[in-house]
Structure 1
Amino acid sequence: MSKTVKNPTKVITGVVCLSYANVWEPKSINGGKEKYSVSVIIPKSDTKTLEAIEKAVDAAIEEGRGKFGGKIPNKQSLKLPLRDGDIDRSDDEAYADSFFVNANSITPPQIVDADINPILERSEVYSGVYARVSINFYAFNSNGNRGIACGLGNIQKIRDGEPLGGRTDASVDFATDVDDDFLS
């Protein structure tokens, strides 16, 4: 029987809300390499996930010592992935009373339902859906920017949510009776 070693930089979140969910097709941001990405919105009440992220970030700083010239820098000198939605996205109510991380990957995430069956229908996972997400933190030091980034692993849809961005479902838009006098 083999023993699995826990990766100290990996976190499986509690139930979070997905925003800017580019999980089906990679996209290029500002002309960079195409990546799959999502903004993971974590309620401030989910202290278990937030504590796990803090520990994983600390582990990534320790593992990244080589990228930081052999020394462990203090956190204030690094760009860190966990951000406060009330401060950094104060104009977006989806981020209220939450923290968030932006996670990305060059490889597509596996996307499954609550029973861990693959989800193949793209309309099932969107910005506003509730999910659990596996994320991994790692150090970077590039062009004078130093910090900890967040890699996107896999996504497990837990339940539907209100689509973000004002998009409505066609069944809602067209559920009313057609007004015959509309053209008269």
Structure 2
Amino acid sequence: MKTTNLNTKVITGVNTRLSYANVWEAVSINGGKEKYSVSVLIPKDDKKTLDAIEKAVDAAIEVGIAKFGGKKPNKVAIKLPLRDGDIERDDEAYKGHYFLNANSVTPPQIVDKNVDPILDKSEVYSGCYARVSLNFYAFNSNGNKGVACGLGNIQKIKDGEMLGGRSNAFDDFTSFEGDDDFLA
């Protein structure tokens, strides 16, 4: 776990899981600008990552005081990025986790455990485990004030069960050695 001099950047721990991973191609959500995005699931027992996020959110509030009218807002009065999966999601994958949504207009660099680039898009997916670099920043837009989370880079740590009901072709099929004239 690292934080930068600005203290708004966090690198998550190794048990972080990706969900709704739109990390290979930018996608428009609800008609908005196309962005790369991911929902980052953080186990509730990963205190190191959660503490770093809390400190980064506090730093983003301090850096962004001008966006809040020149004075530090009460945290309950603004939107915060970290949410409770047990309360806000009826999804087994989110149970026992906090989550946040991170996005960027520029693509993340995606690497493996050895920091070698991953080029095969099927290697990083919703359900795999990864470390993610995140940058927290203050916003004030259309009457909404808070702290958002920017997506930096992704380091895949290990495979996990695919989320979203998608299965792996290797689990669905076996080798086919029958009659290839199946129309007869």
Per-residue deviation, residues 90-134 of structure 1 (Å, max 9, x unmatched)? x10000000001000000000000000000110000000000000
Equivalent residue runs for 1:116-135 within 5 Å: 116-135=115-134
Query: Are residue 98 (structure 1) and residue 102 (structure 2) matched?
Result: no
Distance in 1 of aligned mates of 2:177 and 2:77: 60
Instruction: Decide whether aligned partners of structure 1 residues 178 and 168 sit closer, same or farther in structure 2, where only a CA change above 3 A counts.
Output: farther
Count the aligned residue pairs.
178
Per-residue deviation, residues 132-172 of structure 1 (Å, max 9, x unmatched)? 00000000000010000000000000000100011111111
Q: How far did residue 30 of structure 1 move?
A: 1.0
Structure 2 stretches of 5 or more lacking a match? none
In the other structure, the counterpart of 1:163 is: 162
Q: How far did residue 177 of structure 1 move?
A: 6.6
Aligned residue for 2:60, secondary structure, equals: helix
Contact 2:9 2:136 in 1 (8 A): yes
TM-score, reference length from structure 2 = 0.92
In the other structure, the counterpart of 1:113 is: 112
Distance in 1 of aligned mates of 2:92 and 2:174: 27
Structure 1 stretches of 5 or more lacking a match? none
Equivalent residue runs for 1:1-184 within 5 Å: 6-15=5-14, 16-89=16-89, 91-175=90-174
Q: For the aligned residues, what is the CA RMSD? A: 1.7
TM-score, reference length from structure 1 = 0.92
